[in-house]
């Protein structure tokens, strides 16, 4: 049976779609029976709809090549201390799900947060702004800024470690420094989705619920 991938098609590199995969838009994927394919791969925003259907969930931040390179820089720094800064400009329709997904992914790099502080503007205003400051064990900190309702999607990612500094800005099409290159930085491949998606089991939903509580100001 073939794989079924549900995604925003403009995010997918067209050359990465093979005959063994059915690619559906977000609209086409809603309400689609998981039994129609051997494996179903869905974005985080469909996780609740597909709960109990043995789907696999992917997070867009984790799929971008520059994020994978950044993980390598952090892991290879030799000293866990440092500050991770993430700034994202997203469509007006974005919100807590986007933030929750990033927290889920970043916890794999920084660990579980020990403290979190959230500041947000009035949800009725456009653009809306959310700022999160997080402290982790072993001297890691994170500063996350989100703008919902900006003109163009943008991601800025920076790691300021004791021994190494790395940065990326999608607007400038800048490769991760000090080495590596990234072309079409805000697109990803079907292969990356198939490889990096997570099994949506009980442990997955428990961690997802923890992230949701953090975004709402509870938890750590």
In order of their start, the domains of the chain are 3-58+189-199 (no CATH), 65-172 (3.30.360.10)
Q: Has residue 57 got a pLDDT over 50? A: yes
Q: Which two tokens stand for residue 157?
A: 């990612």
Of all residues in the chain, the percent with pLDDT exceeding 90 is 47
Q: Which two tokens stand for residue 49?
A: 């709809």
Q: Has residue 37 got a pLDDT over 90? A: no
Q: Has residue 131 got a pLDDT over 90? A: yes
Hey, which bits of the chain come out as E strands? 3-6, 21-24, 39-43, 56-58, 82-90, 113-120, 128-136, 140-148, 154-161, 165-169, 198-199
Highest mean pLDDT: which of 22-26, 32-36, 56-60, 74-78? 56-60
Give the helix ranges, DSSP H, for 32-120. 60-63, 65-75, 96-110
pLDDT tens digits, one per residue of 161-179: 988 888 998 887 544 554 4
- Cα 63 off chain centre by: 8
Q: Has residue 191 got a pLDDT over 80? A: yes
**Confidence class of residue 34 from pLDDT cuts 50, 70 and 90?**
low
């Amino acid at each position: 049976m073939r794989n079924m991938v549900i995604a925003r098609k403009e995010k997918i590199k067209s050359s990465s779609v093979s005959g063994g995969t059915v690619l559906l838009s977000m609209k086409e994927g809603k309400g689609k029976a998981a039994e129609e394919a051997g494996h179903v791969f869905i974005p985080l925003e469909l996780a609740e709809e597909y709960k109990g259907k043995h789907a696999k969930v992917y997070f867009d931040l984790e799929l971008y090549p520059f994020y994978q390179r950044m993980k390598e820089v952090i892991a290879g720094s030799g000293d866990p201390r440092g500050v991770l800064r993430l700034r994202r400009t997203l469509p007006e329709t974005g919100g807590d799900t986007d933030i929750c997904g990033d927290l889920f992914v970043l916890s794999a790099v920084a660990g579980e947060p020990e403290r979190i502080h959230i500041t947000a503007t009035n949800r009725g205003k456009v653009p809306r702004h959310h700022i999160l400051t997080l402290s982790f064990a072993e001297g890691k900190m994170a500063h996350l800024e989100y703008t919902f309702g900006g003109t163009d999607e943008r991601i800025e990612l920076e790691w300021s470690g004791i021994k190494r500094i790395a940065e990326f800005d999608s607007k400038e099409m800048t490769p991760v420094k000090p080495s590596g290159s990234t072309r079409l930085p805000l697109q990803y491949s079907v292969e990356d989705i198939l490889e990096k998606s997570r099994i949506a089991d009980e442990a997955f939903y428990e961690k997802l619920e923890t992230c949701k509580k953090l975004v709402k100001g509870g938890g750590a």
